[in-house]
Structure 1
Amino acid sequence: MNYSQTLDYMFNALPMFQRIGAAAFKKDLSNTISLCNHLGNPESKFKSIHVAGTNGKGSTSHSLCSILMEAGYKVGLYTSPHLKSFTERIKINGKDIPEGSVVEFINQNKPFLDELKPSFFEMTVGMAFWFFAQEEVDIAVIEVGMGGRFDSTNVIVPEVSVITNIGFDHVQFLGNTLEAIAGEKAGIIKKNVPVVISQRQSETTDVFEIKAKENYSEIYFAEDTYCIEKIGVTPDLEETVYRVGKGSDTFRLNLDLMGNYQQKNLGGILKTIDVLIAKGYNIHFSDIEMGISQVVKNTGLKGRWQTISDSPKVICDTGHNEEGIKFIIDQINQTKHNQLFMVIGMVSDKDVSKVLSVLPKDAYYYFVQANIPRAMKANDLFNLAIVEGLNGEVMEDVNEAISTAKKKADKDDLIFVGGSTFVVAEINEL
């Protein structure tokens, strides 16, 4: 098979949660374990960092990767979902897995995959582990797909586990209380492996502390070490400036990820680096400075409060649950503009009403529909939005909606595109 045929096989022969939802979800690690055994257990042949959480795990994973790259390490990075190309999911030092390696993996293992019938995600995890082992990375940053306990990535024994925060997302799979969701995320905590919690939350602290104690794991709450304060942006508006307090020391860091919500991630990133340094990793403060300021350049991260055009300004963000959207709305309110236009689409298995209830009533909306089976019909979204007092129109195609909004907007207006990762993925300008 060539690359195009290989992608067709992966997308069509293997159930894919991002596209079809619940039918592709398995509360079981047996397929991943069988695949890893078949591949010679590549997950045991490289060191790793495991990152879970409701919001912020992607940004945290890319930031850790960038710092380690600046420190001179050969770094694997596994994240999901991809925005534009499947190869974005598996990277080494910011470079996507070659298409030829994707073809090689499938061609070598197709008879076994046909027999095992793993999900798309299980297969992708196996491919990432195989590639990282084959390329002999020094360390890989592995982002959890969903939850933690039964996530396919949860066969690794990392150097350190990281849990960014806990919010309401995928409640039909993970539970409908923060405590229950935390219990699933805490499933990545391994025996004698330290764990960093980026954000202390009253509902979840005990869950993490009990799980860490059971596993004889040191637990670190980032805010016990770091006090993070946003103090502005650089003159070119391309970096956010943070004041960081650590004990009696105070220093500044410039972060090229512009979302205000990165303030919640930064302490966890820094504490994780502290843990790695204590384990003997050779990471200097200059590596942290450079790594934090060049996350996008080093890793190719897209869709995090990203400006895709100016005059009028068009910004996109992949935030897609109530907590993520609240942070986005807060930042929109801090961004100078006249009229606000919102191009919004969602997936049908989210708590859409909660998200709609926090969206600004004074914006004009274009309700769109990503080109995946899970997408909520734009008309259905429109009908729910009307109940919440939102005003707008249905325009299913994402790029047509952006183009129409640009024609309607003045140069000082603001257009926001989001509501779903899959809406952002369809932006031509991204």
Structure 2
Amino acid sequence: MDAPRTPAEALAFLARLNPSGIKLGLERVREALEALGHPERLAPVLHVAGTNGKGSTCAFAATALQAAGHRVGLYTSPHLVRVNERIRVDGVDISDADFGQAILDVLERYPSALSEPMTYFEFGTVVALWHFARVGVDVVVLETGLGGRLDATTASPARVTAITPVSFDHMEYLGNTLASIAGEKAGILRPGVPCVVSRQAPEALEAIAARAHAVGAPLRLEGRDFELAVSSSGRLSFHGASWRLDDLSLSLRGPHQRQNAAVALACLELLDAGGIHVTPEAARRGLATARWPGRLEEVGARPTLVLDGAHNPAGVEVLLASLEALYPGRRPHCVFGVVADKDRGPMMRALFPRCASVQLTPLDTPRSLAPETYLEEARSLCPDVSAWPDLDAALAAARARAGEAGVVLCTGSLFLVGMVRARVARAPAPQGVS
């Protein structure tokens, strides 16, 4: 593969890497980071794994760290519209010029990436860590991509780790039981490094605890060591090892965000105790101002247009509880799209009976499942289901059915959320992977 010579050519090089390629293992990433002089060691890291909620947890923590006066690097995936969203410093996406230059820097120092290309996620992780070191961040917040034990982000040492709720997803890579999936997620644990753990199913918690015992990682467990409680008046308060915070407000919507906020606060407590200064007031501001698009996000009115990236059964259950809390008595008109390698059945069985109508749409990815292939299955779950040739037609049908007073919900895949956001915000067309 020819080496790119300009930032624009470098971005094109990244886009040509297989966006769906997955190679579990740390050897390639560690080799690249060594060639780069170990940029992953230049700033303390908060490393977050889990199945659902890890992105929101990272957003809460990163915003609070910034409010405390730190220069914060945030690396998350997937993106919704532009790949630049994955690499942020103080809440700002990396620019095309800086992104392209970082890719050129990495390829110059690690030319093996040209002859033996890494996966899209592996290479993006290395570029992110290089960029954070180059611009001199004070602290890095890393979200795992898949699993934990062999995830590219795990090549970076952590000061604090966290595991959000574990549920069934990516079973072809992580295993078919909650215990096996949780064991893979718990691969981010390090000797002596504290790990904050949200409430888990018993078998998941048992696997995490076993890994913690094996490596000597102290655990802080939700419900035992920290809690975000709701008073009878609806006010939120956090009780941790040292912090007591009352009258908290959350910028991210849905009851499930209380758990994500609790995990973030427990992580911030540990970071503060470890020398990365965070005041309770900065933590409070972080919870109140964090943004995480595509999660119960309202992007339109008359009818209300809601985007949510739920793409597994646990995510759908959380979505349904949130819809009932936010829009009581209003059955949504759903625009639904899914990729072929997802277990759509449990999602559909939970979601579709709760919808007034369902409009099936294809996605802008080769992984998209054609709507007509599961139309009859969908119709067995909701009386008003139609398959459409594209998103614009599906959206128009949902809006017509909803009327001005209704709710249109777009869900099933982050691909779909990115497609709708691009249309609503008149943003550039989605690129790379989401």
- TM, length-normalised to structure 2: 0.90
1:399–1:232 distance in 2 versus 1, CA, 3 Å: farther
What is the aligned partner in structure 2 of residue 348 from structure 1? Answer: 340
Post-superposition Cα deviations, 1:172-200, rounded to whole Å, max 9, x if no partner, equal 11011100001100100011111110223
Aligned 1:392-403 pairs, distance under 5 A: 392-403=385-396
Q: Distance in 2 between matches of 1:188 and 1:95?
A: 27
Give the alignment of 1:17-416 within 5 angstroms: 17=20, 24-110=21-107, 111-230=111-230, 242-245=236-239, 251-296=246-291, 301-334=292-325, 335-336=327-328, 338-361=330-353, 362-389=355-382, 391-416=384-409
> After alignment, is 189-198 or 71-80 more displaced?
189-198
In 2: Cα distance, 1:292 partner to 1:26 partner = 35
State the alpha-carbon separation in 2 of the partners of residues 94 and 249 from structure 1.
27
After TM superposition, give the deviation of residue 90 of structure 1 in Å: 0.5
**Paired amino acid for 1:336:** P
The alpha-carbon deviation at position 231 of structure 1 amounts to 6.2
**Cα distance in 1, alignment partners of residues 81 and 147 from structure 2:** 24
Deviation at 1:413?
1.1
Secondary structure of 1:376 counterpart? coil
Q: Residues 70-102 of structure 1, C-alpha deviation per residue, up to 9 Å, x if partnerless? A: 000010000011111111100110111121122
**Matches of 1:230 and 1:308, distance apart in 2:** 28
Sequence identity (%): 28
**SS in structure 1 of the partner of residue 152 of structure 2:** coil
Q: Deviations over 1:251-290 (max 9, x none)?
A: 1210000122212212211111111121122211111111
Q: Supply the distance in 1 between the matched residues of 2:229 and 2:369 (Cα, whole angstroms).
A: 37
Q: Which residue of 2 aligns with 1:237?
A: none
**Contact persistence 1:399–1:426 (CA under 8 A):** no
Give the conservation status (yes or no) of the 8 Å contact 2:52–2:166: yes
**CA 1:16/1:241 → structure 2, altered by over 3 Å: closer, same or farther?**
farther
Deviation at residue 323 of structure 1 after TM alignment: 0.5
Q: What is the deviation of 1:241? A: 5.5
- Quick check: 1:345–1:418 contact (8 Å CA) kept in 2? yes
Report runs of 4+ in structure 1 exceeding 6 Å deviation: none
Could you tell me whether the CA contact under 8 Å between 1:329 and 1:360 is conserved in 2? no
Q: 1:153 to 1:360 in 2, by over 3 A?
A: same
TM-score (norm 1): 0.91
Q: Secondary structure at the match of 1:87?
A: helix
Residues 327/187 of structure 1: CA separation in 2 closer, same or farther (3 Å cut): same
- 2:376 and 2:287 map into 1 onto residues whose CA distance is 42
Is the contact made by 2:106 and 2:127 (CA closer than 8 Å) also made in structure 1? Answer: no
Aligned to 2:430: none
Deviation at 1:389, TM superposition (A): 4.4
Opposite residue 34 of structure 2, the aligned amino acid is N
Q: Which moved more, 1:217-226 or 1:74-83?
A: 217-226
For 1:57 and 1:320, the matched residues in 2 are separated by 14
Separation (CA, whole Å) in 2 of partners of 1:359 and 1:86 = 29
Residue 8 (structure 1) aligned to one of 7, 12, 25: 12
What SS is found at the alignment partner of 1:349? coil
Shift of 1:338: 4.2
- Determine the C-alpha separation between the residues in 2 that align with 1:7 and 1:383: 42
- 3-state SS of 1:366 partner: strand
2:106 and 2:130 in contact (8 A); partners too: no
CA contact (8 A) 1:242 1:253 kept: yes
Structure-1 separation of matches of 2:416 and 2:236: 30
1: CA distance, partners of 2:411 / 2:198: 25
> Which amino acid is 1:377 matched to?
A
Offset at residue 425 of structure 1 (A): 0.3
Q: Distance in 1 between matches of 2:365 and 2:317?
A: 25
Structure 2 counterpart of 1:21: none
* 1:38-69 deviation per Cα after TM superposition (whole angstroms, max 9, x unaligned): 21211112211100000000000111000000
User: Distance in 2 between the 1:127 and 1:221 partners?
Assistant: 33
CA distance in 2 between counterparts of 1:385 and 1:106 reads 44
Count residues in correspondence: 413
